[in-house]
Amino acid sequence: QKEVEQNSGPLSVPEGAIASLNCTYSDRGSQSFFWYRQYSGKSPELIMFIYSNGDKEDGRFTAQLNKASQYVSLLIRDSQPSDSATYLCAVSPSSNTGKLIFGQGTTLQVKP
Amino acid sequence: EAGVAQSPRYKIIEKRQSVAFWCNPISGHATLYWYQQILGQGPKLLIQFQNNGVVDDSQLPKDRFSAERLKGVDSTLKIQPAKLEDSAVYLCASSLDRDYVLGELFFGEGSRLTVL
């Protein structure tokens, strides 16, 4: 079992739709969870972090965390073609040394 | 504020040759990470430094990879000898806090290695 799992996609949605990206993790003691966006040929950039159960909203982005189910998701409302990228789920493991464990990423395509 | 600087951006070498990558983190960031990202995969941590000490190098292939962080500032990652499977982007990142609940990783542009 991978430590952080994501569906590699591609996930294709029409412009203006809601994109839903999912992630599961294996370390039940993990405390912090992150979503990074990576455009092709570029480095990852942080878009959201969450460490409490429930929802956290930031503009068009909503992160959802369910620690009991070991599940993290990212919703992107009113998807735009500029949102087309790979979205990496990252988890800070229970050892809390500061490192992040990344999933393989989900490629999102937003079609005009 | 200057970001994480990496060089070279691109490197092509033959297998069994050696290569070195350099990273200068954001000023004041105590923690420095080297990640390897193979095409189509997420970044994988190779080594983590806190100042000039190693925090985690459990996934560093120590028979061929080495890294150092002199004076707790910039860092060098070396591969010798390189294998075909080392073809990847090597990402350097830095963070302000070791306690990651509060911190954020800032990534450099990466060094893309192609081993022929």
CA torsion, points B30, B34, A102, B109, in degrees to nearest 10? Answer: 100
What pLDDT, on the 0 to 100 scale, is given for residue B59? 94
For the stretch A66-78, pLDDT in tens is 999 999 999 999 9
For the stretch B33-62, pLDDT in tens is 999 999 999 999 999 998 889 999 999 999
Beta bridge partner(s), residue B45: B35
* Average pLDDT score over chain B: 92
- B98 has pLDDT over 90: no
- Using 50, 70 and 90 to split pLDDT, how confident is the model at B72? confident
For the stretch A43-102, pLDDT in tens is 999 999 998 999 999 999 999 999 999 999 999 999 999 999 999 999 988 877 788 999
Distance CA A11, CA B55 (A): 36
High-pLDDT (> 90) share of chain A, %: 83
What residues of B are in contact with residue A92 (Cβ under 8 Å)? 100-101
Going through A7-84 in order, the beta strands assigned E by DSSP cover: 11-14, 19-25, 32-38, 45-50, 54-58, 61-66, 71-76
Tell me the residue type at B8: P
Kindly identify which residue of chain B lies nearest to residue A41, measuring between CA atoms.
B109
- Tell me what the mean pLDDT of segment B5-34 comes to: 96
Contact B99 A96 (CB under 8 A): yes
Chain B interface includes A65 (CB < 8 A) = no
What pLDDT, on the 0 to 100 scale, is given for residue B1? 66
Chain B interface includes A100 (CB < 8 A) = yes
Contact A96 B101 (CB under 8 A): yes
Q: Which of B50, B99, B110 sits opposite A43 (nearest CB)?
A: B110
Chain A interface includes B53 (CB < 8 A) = no
What residues of A are in contact with residue B107 (Cβ under 8 Å)? 43-45
Contact B104 A44 (CB under 8 A): no
Contact A105 B45 (CB under 8 A): no
Distance CA A74, CA A35 (A): 8
- Tell me what the mean pLDDT of segment B25-36 comes to: 93
Distance CA B21, CA B9 (A): 9
Chain B interface includes A7 (CB < 8 A) = no
What is the separation of C-alpha B88 from the centre of its chain, rounded to a whole number of angstroms? 11
Phi and psi at B4, nearest 5°, equal: -75, 125
Whether B20 contacts B77, CB under 8 Å = yes
High-pLDDT (> 90) share of chain B, %: 81
Contact A100 B45 (CB under 8 A): yes
Contact A99 B48 (CB under 8 A): yes
Whether A24 contacts A5, CB under 8 Å = yes
- Using 50, 70 and 90 to split pLDDT, how confident is the model at B70? confident
What pLDDT, on the 0 to 100 scale, is given for residue A60? 97
Quote the tokens at residue A89: 């789920």
Q: How far is CA B15 from CA A10, A80, B33, B88, in A?
A: 33, 42, 25, 13
